Amino acid sequence: MGISVRNLVKRFGDKTIIDGISLDIADGELVSLLGPSGCGKTTTLRCIAGLETPEEGRIEIDGEVVFDSASGIMVEPYNRSIGMVFQSYAIWPHLTVFENVAFPLRVRRRPNAEVEQKVVRALEMVGLGAFRDRSSQQLSGGQQQRVAVARAIVHAPAVLLFDEPLSNLDAKLRDRTRAELRKLQRDLHVATVYVTHDQAEALSLSDRILVMSEGRILQQGTPEDIYHAPTDSFVADVVGAANFLAVEFRGQGLDGIRAVTRDGAPVRASTGSVPPGPGTIMIRPDKLRLEPAGPSQENRLPGTIRQRLFLGGHFEYLVEVGADTVRVISVVLMQEGAPVLVAFDAVDCVALAGAGAAVS
């Protein structure tokens, strides 16, 4: 039955932090809350956990109403069937690894044999089988994270809540742990909310991504949807590097939307539907190609290379195209200051209403 949230509102003082969020998460589904720092992801998660009391709305966990402002229901966190991994991990320093993980079972007064068996299994699932009698103060960051995960899953909760569980790990460890977390969640088949501000994490882990901004959900969908067909320049920017071209839309044709840049160059985009008028076209940096200078054609815009950065496997160019600057990923070596044609395909262009963010 997973999680169901309806019209959640949370205020701190007179600041509205969560502004009417609704979401549904099915059993076994992993949903990411993605958004910049301060947009209310953690607060949403804490409302689901019962660590914050929302002002309005209704929350159900596993079919049970745990919060309902209309009928004044507020179930305490300890009476909700949740497992939670905190950003700081919150490993209790006075307890051993074993006792940290055993805690949810101990407070539920499970018999010792069951505790033993379940804790051992949870520790093995996170790869800490050999660490059971360690003091929790002798753990590295990665090990603490694993203990926190084991503690969250040991009592087989109906939902799992993760608050940026990888943000305190170094880059290499983060990539490895990401894959392990995904497998773990698949095996457990439990509804999971995963809070992160890292697009790579959200894209690779999620069944579904909810992009948040200022306490609202801007767009939700599968990672592919969100990445390739954002409906909003903010969303486009949050889920990956994006270039924005300011254009004037001319209208919908059979083969996509036609538009012209401010310099009058024609552009065609086959994703998105926008009424005629000023707007933005979004293209990912790896979908742009650099070609030798030549006359401007449709989806081939003249530009000048302003900066080249060598990034190992490829170059990253900043190219001035009319009044816009775009970022281009390319393996072709070109000189700074050289005139080029920036080429792209209509299928890679997303038409968006409103102005886009400038490439810095």
Partner 1 sequence: MTTLPARRSGETTIRVVFVLTFLVTAFLIVTPLASLLYGSFQTGGPGAPSTFTLKNWGDLASRALVHTLFMTCFISVVTSVFSTAGGAAMAWLVYRSDFRYKRSLVAAVGLSFFFPGFILGMAWVILGSPGGVFNDILEHLFGPDVIRFDIYSATGIIWIQVLHILPFAFFTIRGPLISMDSSLEEAAYASGATPWQVVCRVTVPLMIFPVMSSLLLCFVLSVEQFAIPAMVGIPGHVHTLATELYLLTSFSPTNTGLAAAVGLSMSAVTGLSIFAQRRIVHRRMAPTVTGRGYRVRELSLGRWRWVATAACVFYVLMSFIIPALSLIYTSAIKFFVANPFEAAWTFRNYVQLWDNPGTLRAFWNTVLVAGGGAVLGLTLGVLVAYSTHRLKPRGHRALDILACLPFGIPGIVIGLGFLWSYVYLPIYGTLWVLVFCYVARFLPYATETVGAQVVQLDRALEEAAWASGANRIASFRRIVLPLLRPALQSGYFLLFIAYFREIAAAALLYTASTQVLSISIWAFFENANWGVASALSVITTIITVALMGAVMRAPLKL
Residues that bind partner 1 (CB under 8 A): 49-51, 53, 55-56, 67-74, 76-79, 82-84, 86-88, 90, 92-94, 103-104, 107-108, 148, 151-152, 155, 161
Which structure tokens are listed for 292?
A: 């030798």
Per DSSP, the residues of 247-306 read: EEEEEEETTEEEEEETT--EEEE-B----SEEEEEEE-GGG-EEEES---BTTEEEEEEE
Q: At closest approach, how far in Å is the CB of 7 from partner 1? A: 9
Query: Which listed option, ligand ADP, Mg ion, partner 1, none, makes contact with residue 84 (CB within 5 to 8 Å by class)?
Result: partner 1
Beta carbon nearer to ligand ADP, 17 or 218: 17
Rule CB under 5 A: say whether 196 interacts with Mg ion. no
Rounded to an integer, what distance in angstroms lies between the CA atom of residue 353 and that of residue 360? 21
Phi-psi category of 4—alpha, beta or left, where left has phi over 0 and alpha has psi -120 to 50? beta
CB half-sphere exposure, 325, CA atoms < 13 A? 9
Rounded to an integer, what distance in angstroms lies between the CA atom of residue 96 and that of residue 298? 66
Strands of the sheet containing 289-292, edge to edge, are 289-292, 339-343, 300-310, 315-321, 324-330
Query: Which listed option, ligand ADP, Mg ion, partner 1, none, makes contact with residue 51 (CB within 5 to 8 Å by class)?
Result: partner 1
Beta carbon nearer to ligand ADP, 205 or 211: 211
Rule CB under 6 A: say whether 40 interacts with ligand ADP. yes
Query: Which listed option, Mg ion, ligand ADP, partner 1, none, makes contact with residue 309 (CB within 5 to 8 Å by class)?
Result: none
**Those residues with Cβ within 8 angstroms of residue 358's Cβ, 6 or more apart along the chain or in another chain:** 244, 324, 325
Beta carbon nearer to ligand ADP, 12 or 78: 12
Torsions phi, psi for 226 (to 5 deg) = -65, -40
Rule CB under 6 A: say whether 43 interacts with ligand ADP. yes
Beta carbon nearer to partner 1, 104 or 279: 104
* 37-45, 112-120, 126-134, 338-346 -> range binding Mg ion (CB under 5 A): 37-45
Query: Which listed option, Mg ion, partner 1, ligand ADP, none, makes contact with residue 118 (CB within 5 to 8 Å by class)?
Result: none
Rule CB under 6 A: say whether 50 interacts with ligand ADP. no
- Give the DSSP H or E segment for 141: helix 141-153
Q: At closest approach, how far in Å is the CB of 278 from Mg ion? A: 35
State which of positions 9-28 bind ligand ADP (CB under 6 A).
12, 17
SS3 state of residue 193: strand
Which positions touch Mg ion (CB under 5 A)?
42
Which positions touch ligand ADP (CB under 6 A)?
12, 17, 35, 37-43
